[in-house]
Structure 1
Amino acid sequence: MQVSTIELGKVTVTRVVEFRGSVGLTSREFFPESPGQLWRQNSSWLSPDFWNPDTDIVPVALQTWVLRSEGKIILIDTGAGNDKFRPYAKMWQYMDTGFLSRLSRAGVQPEDVDIVVNTHLHNDHVGWNTRREGRDWVPTFPNATYLIPEIEFGFWNPEHPIIAKDPKASQNVWEDSVLPVHEAGLVKLWDGTHTIDSSLALELAPGHTPGSSVVQLQSGTDRAMFIGDLLHTPLQLEHPEFNSCFEEDEKQARTTRRRVLEWAADHKALLLPAHLPGHGAAEIARDGSYFKLKEWAGFSRI
């Protein structure tokens, strides 16, 4: 799979893809409130990157955004990882991908990484936090600080009562992908907002999970927002009221999605979701009370 890079002000952004394909969800399974007719009406631009009209499957990508800013290397989300036992999320079970080789082709060795941002702690955002070494799970990026929202850390911590919609889907994730980096002393918990450097800042964006977060980039005249799982299909631009099936708080997810989309449209900011295939990121504009695609980013299409 391809690696491609763009410049946003003084920040370099590289897209490193772990996976592109189907996770077996049809449009109505993925987005329960979306009518099938709407997908067919938009087939001309959703197909083939974001919807297969023959199978009704919605493809996804797992990708890590690699940022170079003020002399540091920053990873935003770490995908599903290799060798993980995921009995209730079998699409990510015992994966064996060349992610680290692709990261190397992007000029990054694990020891080079200074900061890892986990926008939230779902299994497909923390997998490469760790790698298997013998029978143990060890930090993949041993010199990095792992930034995790405090409320997210508390929500998934098994020492606290878990009230997640589907707690089984996160089985083993804490033990193999979160706890090892915490026990290694690499985790920094934050709340509200957190400044990474003069160009990059974290802020909470709850709904998908209680502690979901986004990374805002402001450098020179360029603006961007790395939005994790606030958006899973570009159809949600025209219909931000449509949630995915994975939202913990559906009402809050709609409110947060609209707030972030409004900011992005008003500031001509590039939106970089975690899971869009195709060109992966886009600038948007207001379209009445909704939004529309203005221009795709310059990343290679996958």
Structure 2
Amino acid sequence: MSETSHPRAAATAQPPTWSVGDRAVLRIDETALPAATGPWLLPGATADVVSRTPWLRPDFADEAGVLRLASHSFAVEVDGLRILVDTGIGNGKRRANPAWHNLNSDYEARLTAAGFAPETVDIVIMTHLHADHVGWNTRSEGGSWVPTFPHARYLTARAEWDYWAGVEMEEARQQMFRDSVHPVRDAGLLDLVDIADGGTDIAPGVRLLPSPGHTPGQVTVELRSRGERALISGDSVHHPVQIGHPELCSCVDIAPGIAARTRHRMLDSLAGTPTLLLGSHFPPPTAGHVRREGDAYRLAPVAPAGATARG
């Protein structure tokens, strides 16, 4: 896809930011995803389903029922450690998905402008090993793919690594591992984390929680500070329509039944609490509180600092 297909936002704009206790969580934007993404990714989220979920409009769906989705990372500093959660699609990657192929965004400049220049990042958390979550792990240099974050430890669940190491992958996925995962491993920067049932701490107030289904080793990321809590969803919830309809599964869920159970458990634990849910593919306003609505749930948006959310 050509550069002109992906309009660039101002790299120097202040990134959307939410407070969790005394910590600031920043959204580092990569790109909005095209309208065709929703019907492909969540085929059960028909216009009729969206119309029966009016709180999705106008932020999360348009009047025609088309879902809005985005690709971004979250960045947070914890006790001097600069942590990045997921790294998006990446620039110049050869991808089967036309919306991801040969992307050319200002993501790296936005990251630097936000105070997280690549050489200053200490930890990269990969919630799971899919192409739209690991792309900026590497960048092109001299015709080779090299780690974008040369001083960081790249973390993923051991169960996630072991799964992909043991299955036969199609060429497109092999390509993703060759350009965005293996160079990190070959540089000695990859750490495999054993995730306990109750989660595993990787920094003060930062815990990886097992959230299988979309992939076997997927994690969500819990942030805690001064009695406040946030949860970064990974692809446990791709879009807020799945909050209103938790039974809806993604076409790329490896184990849809497990994914739905994981989602139900997560939403039930969040409903009615002050925990902030940060969606890894939610379009602006991106964050919110989960509320019960009948037999399901809704998302009450929480605007970033200095902005006002609708609904």
TM-score by length of 2: 0.88
Q: 1:83 aligns with which of 87, 92, 102?
A: 92
- The alpha-carbon distance between structure 1 residues 115 and 122, as it changes in their structure 2 partners (threshold 3 A), is same
Report deviation, 1:135.
1.3
> How many Å separate the matches in 2 of 1:262 and 1:116?
28
Match of 1:211 in 2: 217
* Residues 22 and 57, structure 1, Cα contact 8 Å, conserved in 2: no
Match of 1:272 in 2: 278
Q: Is it true that 1:7 corresponds to 2:32 in the alignment?
A: no
* Residues 86 and 127, structure 2, Cα contact 8 Å, conserved in 1: yes
Q: Is it true that 1:201 corresponds to 2:207 in the alignment?
A: yes
Identical-residue share of aligned pairs (%): 37
Q: Is it true that 1:32 corresponds to 2:43 in the alignment?
A: yes
- The alpha-carbon distance between structure 1 residues 114 and 79, as it changes in their structure 2 partners (threshold 3 A), is same
Match of 2:191 in 1: 188
* Counterpart residue identity of residue 61, structure 1: A
- The alpha-carbon distance between structure 1 residues 273 and 50, as it changes in their structure 2 partners (threshold 3 A), is same
* Counterpart residue identity of residue 20, structure 2: L
Q: Secondary structure at the match of 1:196?
A: strand
Match of 2:298 in 1: 292
Q: 1:247 aligns with which of 233, 250, 253?
A: 253
Runs of 4+ with >6 A deviation: none
> How many Å separate the matches in 2 of 1:85 and 1:75?
23
> How many Å separate the matches in 1 of 2:79 and 2:129?
27
> How many Å separate the matches in 2 of 1:62 and 1:289?
30
Q: Is it true that 1:17 corresponds to 2:29 in the alignment?
A: yes
> How many Å separate the matches in 2 of 1:269 and 1:81?
30
> How many Å separate the matches in 2 of 1:284 and 1:260?
10
Report deviation, 1:171.
3.9
> How many Å separate the matches in 2 of 1:243 and 1:133?
38
1:93-108 mapped onto 2 (5 Å cutoff)? 93-108=101-116
Q: Secondary structure at the match of 1:228?
A: coil
Q: Is it true that 1:224 corresponds to 2:230 in the alignment?
A: yes
1:138-153 mapped onto 2 (5 Å cutoff)? 138-153=146-161
> How many Å separate the matches in 2 of 1:23 and 1:182?
34
Q: Secondary structure at the match of 2:178?
A: helix
* Residues 89 and 100, structure 2, Cα contact 8 Å, conserved in 1: yes
* Residues 73 and 88, structure 2, Cα contact 8 Å, conserved in 1: yes
> How many Å separate the matches in 1 of 2:19 and 2:100?
31
Match of 1:175 in 2: 178
* Residues 126 and 133, structure 2, Cα contact 8 Å, conserved in 1: yes
Query: How many correspondences in the alignment?
Result: 293
TM-score by length of 1: 0.90
> How many Å separate the matches in 2 of 1:23 and 1:36?
13
* Residues 18 and 97, structure 1, Cα contact 8 Å, conserved in 2: yes
Residues 154-174 of structure 1: per-residue CA shift (max 9 Å, x gap): 2223xx333x7xx45524111
Report deviation, 1:57.
3.4
5+ long unaligned stretches in structure 1:
none
> How many Å separate the matches in 2 of 1:229 and 1:73?
22
Q: Is it true that 1:110 corresponds to 2:84 in the alignment?
A: no
> How many Å separate the matches in 1 of 2:137 and 2:46?
37
Residues 85-112 of structure 1: per-residue CA shift (max 9 Å, x gap): 11x2221111111101101110121110
5+ long unaligned stretches in structure 2:
1-8
Report deviation, 1:51.
2.2
Between 188-197 and 70-79, report the one with greater CA deviation.
188-197
